[in-house]
Amino acid sequence: MVWKGFCVPAYNQIRKHVFVKTVKSWSEAQSYCREKHTDLATVRSQEEAEQLLNITGASLRDSWIGLYRDDTQNWQWSNSDDVIYSNWRADLFCASVNSDRKWTDLSCNLQKAFICYKETSNITERYILIEELKTWTEAQQYCREHHTTERYTLIEELKTWTEAQQYCREHHTDLVSIKNASENEEIVKKAQGKPFWIGLFNEPWKWSHQGDNYTFHNWSNGQPDNWGGVENCVKMSNTGGWTDASCNNKNSFFCCNGEDPVQTVFSFNSV
C-alpha cells in the first residue's frame, strides 16, 4: 500500500513537518525521511495533529506518520519516542476475513456479509454464513438473536448492580432472568462457586430484562428482609439461594444473550 507522508527535518529542535506528496510504502517513506530529513513524523499532542492538518489542508488524506506495530504487537514511533498521544478513528476496530484467509481492520459502519457461530460438537454446523449485508453491530445482534446457544455469560469483574446492568446491555442483552428451577440450577453450575448479581430488583419485584414480572423465586431462609431499607437488588449464593442486597455492593454477575431488551428504568431513592 502506498501513501503520501510526513517527514521531520533534523536541523531544528522545534519540530517542523514536511509534507511529501510522492506516494510510497511505509518503509520507503521511513527511508526517505531518514535520508532527506530526520524521520517520519511523530505526533505528541492534539496541537501537533492540528499542525499537520494546517500544513496540508484538504490534501491530507491517508498519509503516513511514524507510528507502527512492532513484532510484539505494541505500537511504536519510528524515532523510538514513547507513544503518549493517539487519535485513532473510533470506527476502525472491526475485522473482516478475505478469501485469502487474511484479516483486515475496517470501519464497523461498513455493511458486509458475516459469519455466526454456535456451540456444537458438529463441526459442519458450527459456522453459519449470512449473506445479508449488515454493519458489525447489526451482525453481532443478528447472530446473538438467531444462532447463539450460550444463553448465559458469567462476568467475573466486580460491579454494582446498575454497573452490571449497563455492562450486560452494552455487551450482551441484559442481566439474567431466571424463570424456573432448572434455569436456576444451570446458572449455579456455571458460577463456579461465586456469588453473583441476577436481574431481579424491587420496584416492586421485577426482572431487568423487558421488565418481566417474577413468577419463580428461590429465596434463602429469611429472605428478602430489606435490611436497613436499602436492599433492593438480588444476588445468588454459590448454593443457588437468593438474597436481597444493597445495589451498591459489588459482585460478579450473569448476563443473558438473546433478543434486545426493553430498557427497564432502574431508579430508587436509596440503593
pLDDT band (50, 70, 90) for residue 4:
low
What's the rounded mean pLDDT across residues 23-52? Answer: 86
Q: Cα–Cα distance between 151 and 255 in angstroms, integer? A: 8
- Which band of pLDDT confidence, cut at 50, 70 and 90, is reported for residue 200? very high
Number of Cβ within a 10 Å radius of residue 146: 13
Task: Tell me the pLDDT band of 56, cut-offs 50, 70 and 90.
Answer: low
Owner of C-alpha cell 504487537? 73
For Cα atoms 71, 75, 76, give the angle at the middle one, nearest 5 degrees: 90
Strands annotated E in 178-232 = 196-202, 205-207
Q: Which ranges in the chain are annotated with CATH 3.10.100.10? A: 12-133, 152-256
DSSP assignment of 5-21: EEEE-SS-SS---EEEE
Average pLDDT over residues 105-126: 70
Cα–Cα distance for residue pair 81/38, rounded to 1 Å: 13
From residue 142, alpha-carbon distances to 29, 152, 194, 260 in Å are 42, 17, 31, 10
Contacts of 129 (CB under 8 A, 6+ apart): 113, 114, 115
Task: State the pLDDT confidence band at 245, using cuts at 50, 70 and 90.
Answer: very high
**With 70 as the cut, is the pLDDT of residue 229 above it?**
yes
| Per-residue pLDDT band at 158 (split at 50, 70, 90) | very high
> Mean pLDDT for the chain?
80
The pTM is what?
0.46
Q: Which CATH superfamily is domain 152-256 in?
A: Mannose-Binding Protein A, subunit A (3.10.100.10)
Which residues fall within 8 angstroms of residue 24, CB to CB, at 6 or more apart?
Answer: 2, 3, 4, 5, 32, 64
| pLDDT for 199 beyond 50 | yes
Q: What's the pLDDT at 138?
A: 87
Mean pLDDT of 21-25: 84
Residue 264 pLDDT level (bands cut at 50, 70, 90)? very low
Q: pLDDT value at position 123?
A: 54
C-alpha cell, 238: 454459590
Is the model more confident about 101 or about 240?
A: 240
CA distances from 109 to 29, 91, 93, 95, 188 (A): 30, 7, 10, 11, 38
Lowest mean pLDDT, pick from 91-100, 109-118, 178-187: 91-100
Confidence at 148, pLDDT banded by 50, 70, 90:
low
The architecture CATH gives domain 12-133: Roll (3.10)
pLDDT digits (tens, 9 = 90+) for 249-263: 999 999 987 654 444
Q: Where are the alpha helices (DSSP H) in 78-150?
A: 136-146
Q: Note the pLDDT of residue 84.
A: 87
C-alpha cell at 100: 485469502
Residue with the bigger pLDDT between 115 and 198: it is: 198
Place of cell 429465596: 219
- The predicted structure's pLDDT at residue 151: 75
Residue 123 burial by CB count (10 A; 0-12/13-18/19+): exposed, middle or buried?
A: exposed
Sorted by sequence, the CB contacts under 8 Å of residue 257 that are 6+ apart come out as: 144, 148, 150, 151, 152, 153, 172, 173
Cβ count within 10 A of residue 130: 16
141 pLDDT higher than 70 = yes
Q: For residue 267, what pLDDT is reported?
A: 45
